[in-house]
Amino acid sequence: MTVAAIALNRFGLGAQPDDGVPDDPKAYLLAQFDRYDPRPPALAEAQTTAAVSSELAAYFDAQRQNRADRKAPPGAMMPAAGGTPPAMTASPPMQPAMTGQKPSAPTGAPLDPVMEARRLAQRQNRQVYIDSAGLRANAALATSAPMVERLVHFWANHFAVSADKLEVIGLAGPFEFEAIRPHVLGSFRDMLYAVERHPAMLIYLDQAQSIGPDSPFGARAAQRNPKRRPGLNENLAREIMELHTLGVRTGYTQADVTEFARAMTGWTTAGLGRGGGGGARNAGNPGDFVFVPQLHEPGVRTIMGKSYPQQGEAQAAAVLDDLAVHPATAKHVATKLVRHFVADDPPPAVVKRCEGAFLKSDGDLPTVYRALIDSPEAWAPQPAKFKTPWEWSISMMRALGMQQIGAQQIFGLQQQLGQPVWKPGQPSGWDDIAGSWAGPDAIMRRVEAAQRFAARAGQVIDARERAEQLFPGTLTPATRQAIARAESPQQAVALMLVAPEFMRR
Amino acid sequence: MIVTRRRFVSWGSAAALSALAPRIAFAAAPTDRRFVFIIQRGAADGLGTLAPVGDPAFAPARGPLAEDFATGAKLDGMFTLHPALAGVAGLYKGGEALFAHAVASPYRDRSHFDGQNVLETGGTSAYSVKDGWLNRLLGVLPEPEKRGMAIAATVPMALRGKVDVASYAPSALPDASDDLIARVTTLYASDPQLHELWEQAVATRQLTGDLAANNGQNAAATGTLAAKLLAPADGARVAMIETGGWDTHAGQRGRLAAQLKGLDAMIGALKAGMGPLWSDTMVLVATEFGRTVAVNGTGGTDHGTASAAMLFGGAVKGGRVIADWPGLTQADLYEGRDLKPTTSLDAFIAGAAAEHFGIEPARMAKALFPTVGPVKPVEGLARV
């Protein structure tokens, strides 16, 4: 690959037909830092965390009311299906409703909680989750700062939430738009704060339900029913240390995780409370971050040998401050960033440089990106990264000059290609290595998708010319020949979209 | 039975080798055996799957989660199956289901991703081994049986390695035209990575035919699909199915019941789809580690250590639970919180695979778990 092709494809999201060839590739990348728009026009219609949270809160209120009505004495109207909806107590994986079947509750009849949950999930799914995925794609198609947009996708995956729970379905998009986008060119600490305090994360990793056993609330509840003592949930605390900051096997112990979980008790979100402490969480607008002192485990915490005497909200904040600039965090973040941009096996020298930049700047992200851009290894001519389904899809649409894509279309395409948007199914996000994406069936699907997109775009595109624009100075004779010999313009475009040059970056 | 012994011949003894030479040839001959590995990603709760209700510490530790087992199938004086596993209970009764409890891989921390890597690579620590044990299992099988398949769009770690494997998941995209397929073949001819992947993709496409109509969304459909890929004479002999959703940090009672119901349906569909080949089939179900003995403050359980593993199939000498039960009193727990591992999952897998494929156990153990040190395979798991 030429350096121009690398700037467009490895660092960016693939060239667009009118991109031209950047004559100073490094300057071209750095200039994007000034051009980047955290709230571009493409996202003007994006749903907000506040709006989605309000709808969820109203739903939970109605459900609580519904339950209270059902406990009313005999004689009151009772629906046949009993019990709490499983979706509400158990947070099971929710399949996105793609079929569009209509909810069928007659008006005036007592609400069936299962039906209500399903209806809400469908609405959040269709009107927020899928739409947000469409906006995300459109922002990536319209951007003049593709490297920074790529970084948005990178960080959203680093701080992954997965739309497997009812609440996360609608909040996943607003989470990226509000907690990731504004901080992608800021400090790591600020992004960490925004992320860990967002309702999507607090709910996805169960923090919103965690309760200090000896907190005022915990103690009262234990008194009322000693058999069902409420208590800690260590999920978010663990994943902050393992995935978001230090990285796995970096010296912290199970005891540190538990202590951090204790420090974090009380960190929750307003209006979306379920289970214990719900009433105490209603301060503030739905979805706001709130600290609820009644849930906080009292006492001094000791984490990785350091004592945290702060009380209340400040305790976990002090831990986060330390984690945000910890040398292990610098190494973890640098390694993932280099793996994303340079190679599945990140070259140690580049990692070292980025790690140093992180430490010296206390986690100033543009400083780290500059160190990456300045690393000669990042410009190695051999394409070392196999595109993920998202990367391949966006670059394909950019190559075809598409300005817009329908939400349902990009959403469905990502499902077919094996990377449903905001649904990695695990808090570690999607893998960033070829082994996860370069499978036989995965390639076949790309060929099928390319055929379908090319059938629509192919007539007006001369693939022979377009391919030279997309990969300046880089096309192999085999690709050139395959495109030239195609039986139709559409087929030529399809072949261009699955050429080896196009599968990698 | 003498015939069963023949399949356990040691390769080390020259005398035995000459005396039993024709029998070794028999052992290496291809058969109809099928092996399926179902991975439970997210650390499935063994105590919530196969409950040690006979342990007096169980019910107090589990509180409401223990209540489910009032209606489950009672397997013996100690263990009761979760009631969602009704089909599995039937298999157990028919001698086609076997459980091992308090098992763990060599991994002793509590990270899903590291734990899954150890489970899938068969190493002792995360990322120390670069290929998967299921792929190495293919490596020791006779040529016509070296056919592995991932029921997934990409190949999971356990199946990655030297032996080429296929992957398949149903697609709703329109099929690519035969002409485009042929041209892509030419386009990829000089790209080693894409060439190899493409060959596999095309071969699988021919094998599966009209399966794309099946959307494979639910567990039973996946079981049926797996059976369709395994049953043909030229189909896969070794397959892996990935299941997720086992990380039950909150509201475990309803969620685990739903998960287990899905697993039950998947196993049922697999058996139905395999037909008579079920008698030559072994299905292994395992997870990266277990969950805490105590219920956390949110009706769930956190990351733990030992869990349960399962074998299903006509080839399994079932109707038994294998467990050196460590006990659940506080003093008995691993690090004061988790079910203590007393049986090596590696030994369980090595024993099952060795007997199923008629390969000498020590040799199988070395092939599957080369860096683990001496693994003493568990004996008597398969009908041989």
Lowest mean pLDDT among A34-48, A400-414, B207-221, B277-291: B207-221
Length of chain A: 505
Would you tell me how many other CB atoms lie within 10 Å of the CB of residue A23? 9
Per-residue pLDDT band for A431 (boundaries 50, 70, 90) equals: very high
Nearest-Cα residue of chain A relative to residue B160: A435
Per-residue pLDDT, B12 = 27
Give CA–CA dist B136/B262, Å, rounded: 29
Q: Report, as an integer, the average pLDDT of B196-216.
A: 58
Nearest Cα residue to B368 out of B17, B40, B35: B35
Cα distance between residue B139 and residue B180, in whole Å? 34
| B182 touching A (Cβ < 8 Å) | no
- Report how far apart, in Å, the C-alpha atoms of B72 and of each of A17, B49, B79, B93 are: 63, 10, 10, 13
Residues 153-212 of chain A whose Cβ lies under 8 A from any Cβ of chain B: 164, 205-206, 209-211
**What is the dihedral sign for C-alpha B92, B96, B97, B103?**
positive
Say which amino acid occupies A444.
M
Residue of B118, B125, B185, B249 for testing the chain A interface, max A β-carbons within 10 Å: B249
Q: Is there a contact between B167 and A440 if contact means CB atoms under 8 Å apart?
A: yes
Strands A301-303 and A306-308, sheet pairing:
antiparallel
d(CA B351, CA A371): 51
Pairwise CA distance, residues A338 & A329, whole Å: 14
Taking residues A438-466, what's their average pLDDT? 90
CB A375, CB A346: distance < 8 Å: no
Residue A2 DSSP one-character state? -
Shortest distance, CA B66 to any CA of chain A (angstroms): 13
Select the more confidently predicted residue: B57 or B151.
B57
Per-residue model confidence as pLDDT tens digits over B230-259: 999 889 999 999 887 788 888 899 889 988
Torsional sign, CA B106, B111, B114, B117: positive
- B150 at A interface, C-beta within 8 A: yes
| A51 closest CA partner among A197, A195, A177 | A177
Q: Which residue has the higher pLDDT, A301 or A271?
A: A301
- What is the pLDDT, as a whole number, of residue A119? 85
Mutate which: B62, B168, B183, vs A, most A CBs within 10 A? B183
Give residue A99's pLDDT: 35
Q: What is residue A60's predicted lDDT score, i.e. its pLDDT?
A: 85
> A501: part of which helix (H) or strand (E)?
helix A500-503
State whether A275 and B298 contact (CB < 8 Å): yes
- Report yes or no: A274 at the B interface, CB cutoff 8 Å: no
Let me know if A243 is exposed, middle or buried by CB neighbors in 10 A (0-12, 13-18, 19+). buried
Residue A84 is predicted with a pLDDT of 34
**8 Å CB contact between A421 and A372:** no
Residues B59-96 pLDDT 10s: 999 999 999 999 999 999 999 999 999 999 999 999 99
Contacts of B123 in chain A (CB under 8 A): none
Assign 3-state DSSP to chain A and report helix, strand, coil percentages, each to 5: 60, 5, 40
Which of B120, B163, B296, B335 has the most A C-beta neighbours within 10 Å, making it the best mutation to test the interface with A?
B296
Mean per-residue pLDDT of chain B: 87
Torsion angle (degrees, nearest 10) of CA B313, B314, B315, B318: 70
Full 3-state SS string of A68-136:
HHHCCCECECCCCCCCCCHHHHHCCCCCCCCCCCCCCCCCCCCCCHHHHHHHHHHHHHHHHHHHHHHHH
B154 touches chain A (CB under 8 A): yes
What's the CA gap between A272 and A199, in Å, rounded?
8
Do A249 and B109 make contact, defined as CB atoms within 8 angstroms?
Answer: yes
pLDDT grade, residue B8 (50/70/90)?
very low
CB distance A439–B152 less than 8 Å? yes
Report residue B244 CA to chain centroid gap: 13
Average pLDDT for A189-212: 97
* Minimum Cα–Cα distance from B184: chain A residue: A495
Q: Rounded to whole angstroms, how far apart are CA atoms A411 and A403?
A: 16
* Chain A neighbors of B109, CB-CB under 8 A: 248-249
pLDDT above 90 (res A220):
yes
Residues A360-378 have a mean pLDDT of 98
Mutate to test the interface with B, among A242, A441, A479 (most CBs of B within 10 A): A441
**CA A152 to chain centroid:** 9
Residue B105, helix vs strand vs coil: coil
Q: Read out DSSP for A24-49?
A: SHHHHHHHHHHH--SS-GGGTTPPPH
Look at residue A91 in the predicted model and tell me its pLDDT: 36
Interface contact A416-B171, CB threshold 8 A: yes
Residues A190-215 have a mean pLDDT of 96
Q: What's residue A467's pLDDT?
A: 95
pLDDT of residue A110: 63
A contacts of B201 (beta carbons < 8 Å)? 440-441, 443-444
Question: What is the H or E stretch that residue B178 is in?
Answer: helix B178-187
Q: Is A445's pLDDT higher than 50?
A: yes
Mean pLDDT score, A347-358: 98
**Residue B116 pLDDT > 70:** yes
**pTM of this prediction?**
0.77
Contact B153 A210 (CB under 8 A): no
Helix (H) or strand (E) holding A202: helix A199-204
**B254 shares contact with chain A (CB less than 8 Å):** yes
- Specify the long-range contacts of residues A361-365, CB closer than 8 Å, at least 24 apart: A362/A187, A362/A189, A362/A325, A363/A187, A363/A188, A363/A189, A363/A324, A363/A325, A363/A329, A363/A330, A363/A333, A364/A186, A364/A187, A364/A188, A365/A183, A365/A184, A365/A185, A365/A186, A365/A187, A365/A188, A365/A191
**pLDDT at B19 exceeding the cut of 50:** no
Query: What value does the mean pLDDT take over residues A9-25?
Result: 92
Residue B288 to residue B301: CA distance in whole angstroms = 15
Q: How far apart are CA A438 and CA A389, in angstroms?
A: 10
Q: How confident is the model at residue A275 (pLDDT cuts 50, 70, 90)?
A: very low
Residue A225 has pLDDT above 60, yes or no: yes
Q: How far is B301 from chain A (nearest CA, A)?
A: 8
A80 part of contact set with chain B, CB < 8 Å: no
Distance CA A436, CA A411 (A): 20
Measured between beta carbons, which residues in chain B are less than 8 angstroms from residue A426?
41-42, 112-113, 244, 247
Partners of A308 in the β-ladder: A301
CA distances from A11 to A32, A256, A432, A446, B187 (A): 11, 37, 14, 22, 25
Q: Tell whether A443 lies on the interface with B, counting CB pairs under 8 A.
A: yes
Q: What is the spatial distance between Cα A49 and Cα A199, in angstroms, rounded to a whole number?
A: 8
User: What's the pLDDT at A298?
Assistant: 97
pLDDT in tens, B302-357: 999 999 999 999 999 999 999 999 999 999 999 999 999 999 999 999 999 999 99
Least confident of A120-129, A273-282, A425-434, B251-260: A273-282
| Chain A residues touching residue B150 (CB < 8 angstroms) | 439
**Mean pLDDT in residue range A460-482:** 93
- Chain A partners of B207 at a C-beta cutoff of 8 Å? none
* Residues of chain B positioned with their CB less than 8 A from the CB of A479: 187
Q: Tell whether A460 is within 8 A of chain B (Cβ).
A: no
Segment A158-170 mean pLDDT? 94
| Segment A105-129, tens digit of pLDDT | 445 556 677 788 888 888 888 889 9
Candidates B41, B109, B174; nearest CB to A448: B174
Q: Is A451 within 8 Å of B176 when comparing Cβ atoms?
A: yes
Residue A255, chain B, CB below 8 Å: the answer is no
Summarize pLDDT for A260-272 with one digit per residue, the tens.
999 999 999 998 8
Question: Is residue B196 pLDDT above 60, yes or no?
Answer: yes
Is A503 within 8 Å of B175 when comparing Cβ atoms? no
With a CB-CB cutoff of 8 Å, which residues 309-368 of chain A face chain B? none
Q: Does A484 touch chain B if contact means CB atoms closer than 8 Å?
A: no
CA A402 to CA A135: how far, in whole Å? 14
Query: CA A231, CA A213: separation in Å to the nearest integer?
Result: 5
- Residue at token pair 């199946």: B159
Instruction: Give chain A positions within 8 Å (CB) of B299.
Output: 89, 275
Q: Is the pLDDT of residue A86 over 50?
A: no
- Which of chain B's residues have a Cβ under 8 Å away from the Cβ of A86? 254-255, 258
Say what the pLDDT of residue A32 is.
97
End-to-end, the C-alpha distance of chain B in Å comes to 9
How would you class B12 by CB atoms within 10 Å of its CB: exposed for 0-12, middle for 13-18, buried for 19 or more? exposed
Alpha-carbon gap, residue A218 to A223, rounded angstroms: 9
Please tell me if residue B119 touches chain A, with a CB cutoff of 8 Å: no
The answer to whether residue B209 scores a pLDDT higher than 50 is no
Spatial separation of the C-alpha atoms in residues A180 and A129, rounded to whole Å: 17
For A306-342, the pLDDT digits (tens) are: 999 999 999 999 999 999 999 999 999 999 999 999 9
pLDDT value at residue B114? 87
Spatial separation of the C-alpha atoms in residues B37 and A453, rounded to whole Å: 37
Touching check for A372 and chain B: CB below 8 Å?
no
- Checking if the pLDDT of A280 tops 60, the result is no
| Mean predicted lDDT score pLDDT of chain A | 89
With a pLDDT cut of 90, the percent of chain B lying above it is 69
Report how far residue A339's alpha carbon sits from residue B270's, in angstroms, rounded to the nearest whole number.
Answer: 39
How far is A421 from A156, CA to CA, in rounded Å? 11
pLDDT in tens, B262-306: 899 999 999 999 999 999 999 999 999 999 999 999 899 999 999
Contact A206 B249 (CB under 8 A): yes
Provide the ipTM: 0.85
pLDDT per position as a tens digit, A373-406: 999 999 999 998 999 999 999 999 999 999 999 9
